[in-house]
Amino acid sequence: MKPLPGLFSRREILKKLGLSAAAVGLASLGGARAQAADSGTASPGPSAPPAPRGPYTLPELGYPYEALEPVIDAQTMEIHHSKHHQAYISNANRALAAYPDLGRMSPEELLQNMRRVPGSIAVAVRNNVGGHANHALFWDILTPGGPKEARGALASRINADFGNRDTFLREIGEAAGARFGSGWAWLVAYNKKLSVISTANQDSPLMDGYVPLLGIDVWEHAYYLKYQNRRSEYVGAVMSVVNWDKVGERFAAAMR
């Protein structure tokens, strides 16, 4: 049966209603977006998951982010400490969540005993517990104050093992500059002698039996905002603000 003139078939009515509903929906969505833009707010997105709880927490710097300017700018310090270091801690806690016995070890003890780490989390521990330990040392040796050159027993040991201070500075600068990609340059103790080594990524000297005394972070996030690709300039600048009392404390402990 044909519809009466001026009326629509059931199919045509549904079709038109569907188009109308879609149009209304789009108009409402556009209006909501415009209102949000006008008010300076946006509809809430999915919230970030909370950081996993675990054995490690972000250590306080003990000094303000701007304390090392102009050598390291405040923005780099804040991002490096509160974002990058925190990420290593969160990932380490996540990896160790099912292994409370490993979580009860200090980061240094765990890195010295990697053979005890299950293969399923070995890479995560290497990268993230290593990253946590490396950065904790880095912040400590950059504590403002203290002498800017080694002194006492440490100075004598540097002269004995490198020939003189200038040779040591050249070697650690070369180790930092030659590190391909991301990593660290280190002054380390081994068998009560000093040497300079370089490690990739967040590998810790502790994993190979060395005791780290001083580390220079040469990941780009450590220096790129201020120094761009001028890594050697950054390395020289960082060495000028090292607190050698802090390095000396680590040296004294390693020599016991």
* CATH of residue 103: 1.10.287.990
Query: How many Å apart are CA 209 and CA 205, to the nearest integer?
Result: 7
Query: How many Å apart are CA 75 and CA 226, to the nearest integer?
Result: 10
**168, 219: one domain:** yes
Q: pLDDT value at position 53?
A: 74
**79, 116: one domain:** yes
Query: What is the domain extent for residue 102?
Result: 71-141
DSSP single-letter state for residue 66: G
Burial 104-133 (b: 16+ CB within 10 A, else e): ebebbebbbebeebeeebeeebbbbbbbbb
- Residue-by-residue pLDDT tens, the chain, 256 positions: 444 344 344 444 334 444 443 333 433 434 443 333 333 333 334 444 555 677 999 999 999 999 999 999 999 999 999 999 999 999 999 999 999 999 999 999 999 999 999 999 999 999 999 999 999 999 999 999 999 999 999 999 999 999 999 999 999 999 999 999 999 999 999 999 999 999 999 999 999 999 999 999 999 999 999 999 999 999 999 999 999 999 999 999 999 9
215, two tokens: 């580390």
**205, 178: one domain:** yes
What predicted TM-score, i.e. pTM, was given to this entire model?
A: 0.80
Residue 189 DSSP SS3: strand
Query: How many Å apart are CA 218 and CA 235, to the nearest integer?
Result: 8
